[in-house]
Structure 1
Amino acid sequence: MSQPLQAEKGVGAEFMVMETSSNEVAQEHFHTGLALLHNFEYGRAAAAFRLAQEADPDFVMAYWGEAMTYNHPLWEFRDVERARDALAKLALTPEARSAKVRNSRERLWLDAVETLYSDGPKEERDHAYLAKMRAMLEADPDDIDARAFTGLAVLGTSHGGRQIPLYMEAAGILEEGFMAHEMHPGILHYMIHSYDDPVHAPLGERPAARYAKVAPNAGHAQHMVSHIFHALGDWERSEAANINADAVVDRQLAERGRDPTFCGHYNEWLAYALIQQGKDASEMVEGCRAEAVAEVAAGRDYGKIGGYRSDSSSFGTIALHAGVTSGVWAEPVGWPEDRFLKAQFNLAYASLLQSRDDPVAAATALDRMKAIHGKILRALPDEMPDETAIPSWNERIIAQGEAIVTLAGGNSEVGLALLEAAAEAEAAMPVVFGPPAIEKPSYEMLGEELLALGRSSKAAGAFQKALAFSPGRYLSLKGLEAARASTSREIGS
């Protein structure tokens, strides 16, 4: 059995206070894994928990921890088979595993994770797991990790998007823990998630001020604080946070002998923050495109959809960020017809946005979007069975596309009615964190169309509605300024 000289540093392990029944070496690795788990650094957390298993093969919580790394509640993802395999390393059956617990608290943690990965639909298991966590917290309200994971479990039952009452319930659970453990990474992280919408973001500045300091070597922690800055429209701080997050990732890539990356979730947010300040993101667009081209050439298999983490999907997102604001559109990648469908949908949408004045080209782009959307729907049950956001928002984008085609054909009044209906439907969707789920929000587009028709007062109202969902958005601010200036001139004349 080999052990590294020391466990990972800079991830918040020093703020872990969970008492364990293990030896000192296993406990050190366990606390590192626990901190990484709270930071959503799932792969690194699993590795730390496996080191704890090596140091103490009968340590129940080390297997609990590894199993927990396969549940990503806020990303609507759960790998049941890998979690069950992790638990099976301790013992093959729940009864045999239960016989290995060393105290009553371990029994409760093990019972909760067994419930999470039991049989039945995901939503039912989420609620059953939450009930176990509530009981655990009620039994010991001072257990800060039980409190943190209960708050996260509440968030995890908000299926299909943000349900504000649930998010505020989670915040209340977490706030009580924040008073006594103001540097606990799980408490801070889940508070930020509870508050990362434009209405509640001011409440998230307190955990955001601490979280990046708690885990300087966790890229997700560095990125997470930008959730609050983004919701506040504070692009300078969002830029800085994602530069820090990307630096952590690049450092870890260098340690494995790999080059820095222009793609990835943190770079997507960084590109958006740059663009909202009027800064040039062309280097990021071209850099990520090159990585997407290399990904295709290497034949990497991400299934048909391409997921959220492929370089191609990232390129599609970054290219849209830049193109919508700058009007400079990136060259597409030669994707196989039945692969990287998420990226293909985004680039078809880019073609649609470029064709707002060309009815034939706009209709062609819309037809392509519909065809790709159909392929995504057929692939989802096998590849992303718990995913709900992609199909819901694709349908909203297609509805906007119908308005664009109608407007491009010269039927302004019908097109405006369709666009307003699309905007109202978007507003009725659950609030999303981060960049808009539709790259060109329909209220912003409606404002632009109304302004072009000389209806400046109504245009100003549309831009204000767009800014309510995306504070500080560059094009909406510019549009509102232009609409107000036009209204003033009309009044003055």
Structure 2
Amino acid sequence: MKIRLIAPFAIALATAAHAHDGHDHAASEAAGKVGAEYMVMEISAEEAAKAPFLRGLALLHNFEYDRAAEAFREAQAADPDFVMAYWGEAMTYNHPLWEQQDREKALEVLARLDGTREGRLAKTRTQREAMWLDAVETLYGKGTKEERDFLYLAKMRALLASDPADIDARAFTGLAILGTAHGGRQIPLYMEAAGLLEPGFMTHEMHPGILHYLIHSYDDPVHAPLGARMAERYALVAPDAGHAQHMVSHIFHALGDWEASERANTLADAVVDRQRAVAGRPPSDCGHYNEWLVYSKLQQGKDASDIISRCRLQAIAAIERGSDQKLGFSAASSYGNIALWNGVVTGNWPEELPITGDGFLLTRFDMATAKLLSNRSDIATASEALGEMRAIAEDIEAALAAEQPLNTYIMPWVTRQLSQGEAVVALASGDTSRGLSLLEAAGAAEANLPEVFGPPPMVMPSYEMLGLHLLEQGRANDAAEAFRKALELAPGRKISVDGLAKAYAAMN
């Protein structure tokens, strides 16, 4: 088969065109360009159900879950007994890489097809449909979430083995492998997924699922160069899927290519804002894509204060509306992230937010962290802030058990932030030796946690903070080593890059 190659600079040209040619992009959005033209799954359905199903399948691969569910329901309306349309909608409630699953909602979808597993199986029109249905029934069947993830993977391996040319079976099997890495990235599993997905890239180089899941497999600093091939293509495949536009920045971020990351997230935010406008909603300056956009701008030394200021207004509005969930992600939690990053880089720390009651725990933890870091030379205020952080951390742990029992990501990093806080207080008290020792231990502990994608969970990684203090002590060689360790974990961070340059200059 002839493989079409895309030049490395193609995505730069394409994204620039999208950024400056609103008419062309608006036309593509009207056509719903989300990668549906690359969907080749063989299905047995009424003709009117095929197009919405394939669009839903592409959106599912793009993690555009709400839009995918709508498309699958459209297919159900056109063909009420079309099993795969219910399979697809049920799949939108499983978010393996986000440690999220709504089993009850998924089972409600399957129950609309038929009230029993046997009745649903009887409606399948091909053996292939029966295998897909069996897999999703297993995903939401008996056992714990972790147990079901492994049982589902076994079903997907069997589905792929029965037809290795089925590109969607290959894509979803790769994703299922990634979904068994409970508790964070496990490199062997991620490389296993990459090994299974790579043959699909050779035969279907523009398939959104193959591209998406390979990017996830490779979005760490060591493997990111392998993901550059996918990043060249993915944004072109689905220009009207905000998540696809954002996903390529996972590779750019791991490579420390901040200009490309800024461009990708600008486009992702623009896609979402256009969709919000269609729905009669105002644009947003908070949210995941804006967070990565601000981070990439700060790493280039650019001013992100306009985005941060507008997000602050949206955060205050979210706080005034209140929240039933103590851990609910909102404009407030988004503002906490970007305001802290800005404070670390510029020294312009966030003002307090009008939070009352016991909600918005993550934002409150961020604000207490800002209080700690902005008062690193004031022992009384730093100690008070650390006490606040500890109290909020206890509430976060309790809320996780109640609201997000599957989440294994938040608490380890909250604990690491507390450990760094102990070092900050020790340094503020004048106990430099103990403070530096605590920072060294904190950095090592952070390095031993599973590799993360995206901005570091620590507002300022401990090795980076250690390097800054060592520079102040005149220990240039030790500072350079600390900055090198920081850059291994977070390539291209401006503070670490600048600090390393200062350490080298002092050594010479």
The equivalent residue for 1:453 is 473
The equivalent residue for 1:20 is 43
8 Å contact 1:276–1:473 — kept in the other structure? yes
Return the offset for 1:337.
3.0
- Please give the alpha-carbon distance, in whole angstroms, between the structure 1 residues aligned to 2:228 and 2:80: 41
The equivalent residue for 1:251 is 274
8 Å contact 2:416–2:445 — kept in the other structure? yes
Count of paired positions: 480
- Please give the alpha-carbon distance, in whole angstroms, between the structure 1 residues aligned to 2:243 and 2:356: 31
Is 1:92 the counterpart of 2:115? The answer is: yes
- TM (norm. structure 2) is 0.93
Q: 1:302 to 1:321 in 2, by over 3 A?
A: farther
- Please give the alpha-carbon distance, in whole angstroms, between the structure 2 residues aligned to 1:340 and 1:444: 28
Q: How does 1:98-109 map to 2 (within 5 A)?
A: 98-109=121-132
**Unmatched 5+ residue regions in structure 1?**
1-5, 489-493
- Please give the alpha-carbon distance, in whole angstroms, between the structure 2 residues aligned to 1:123 and 1:326: 42
Is 1:165 the counterpart of 2:188? The answer is: yes
CA deviation vs aligned residue, 1:359-405 (integer Å, no higher than 9, x gap): 11111111101101100111112211100111110001101111110
- Please give the alpha-carbon distance, in whole angstroms, between the structure 2 residues aligned to 1:8 and 1:380: 41
- Please give the alpha-carbon distance, in whole angstroms, between the structure 2 residues aligned to 1:431 and 1:204: 16
8 Å contact 1:7–1:28 — kept in the other structure? no
Q: How does 1:60-459 map to 2 (within 5 A)?
A: 60-299=83-322, 301-307=323-329, 310-459=330-479
8 Å contact 1:8–1:32 — kept in the other structure? no
Return the offset for 1:458.
0.2
8 Å contact 1:123–1:157 — kept in the other structure? yes
Partner amino acid, structure 1, of 2:432: S
- Please give the alpha-carbon distance, in whole angstroms, between the structure 1 residues aligned to 2:368 and 2:419: 14
Return the offset for 1:336.
2.3
Identity, in percent, stands at 63
Spell out structure 1 runs of 4+ moving beyond 6 A.
Answer: none
- TM (norm. structure 1) is 0.96
Return the offset for 1:437.
1.1
- Please give the alpha-carbon distance, in whole angstroms, between the structure 1 residues aligned to 2:400 and 2:102: 15
- Please give the alpha-carbon distance, in whole angstroms, between the structure 1 residues aligned to 2:196 and 2:340: 38
8 Å contact 1:46–1:66 — kept in the other structure? yes
SS in 2 for 1:476: helix
- Please give the alpha-carbon distance, in whole angstroms, between the structure 1 residues aligned to 2:92 and 2:144: 19
CA deviation vs aligned residue, 1:149-202 (integer Å, no higher than 9, x gap): 000000000011100000000001110100000000000000000000000000
8 Å contact 1:366–1:401 — kept in the other structure? yes
Return the offset for 1:8.
5.8
8 Å contact 1:302–1:340 — kept in the other structure? no
- Please give the alpha-carbon distance, in whole angstroms, between the structure 2 residues aligned to 1:348 and 1:182: 47
CA deviation vs aligned residue, 1:332-367 (integer Å, no higher than 9, x gap): 211123101011111111111111111111111111
Return the offset for 1:7.
9.4
Return the offset for 1:23.
1.4
SS in 2 for 1:472: coil
8 Å contact 1:285–1:330 — kept in the other structure? no
- Please give the alpha-carbon distance, in whole angstroms, between the structure 1 residues aligned to 2:496 and 2:324: 35
- Please give the alpha-carbon distance, in whole angstroms, between the structure 2 residues aligned to 1:324 and 1:160: 28
SS in 2 for 1:89: helix
- Please give the alpha-carbon distance, in whole angstroms, between the structure 2 residues aligned to 1:303 and 1:201: 36
Is 1:46 the counterpart of 2:46? The answer is: no
- Please give the alpha-carbon distance, in whole angstroms, between the structure 2 residues aligned to 1:8 and 1:469: 41
For the aligned residue pairs, the C-alpha RMSD in angstroms reads 1.0
The equivalent residue for 1:3 is none
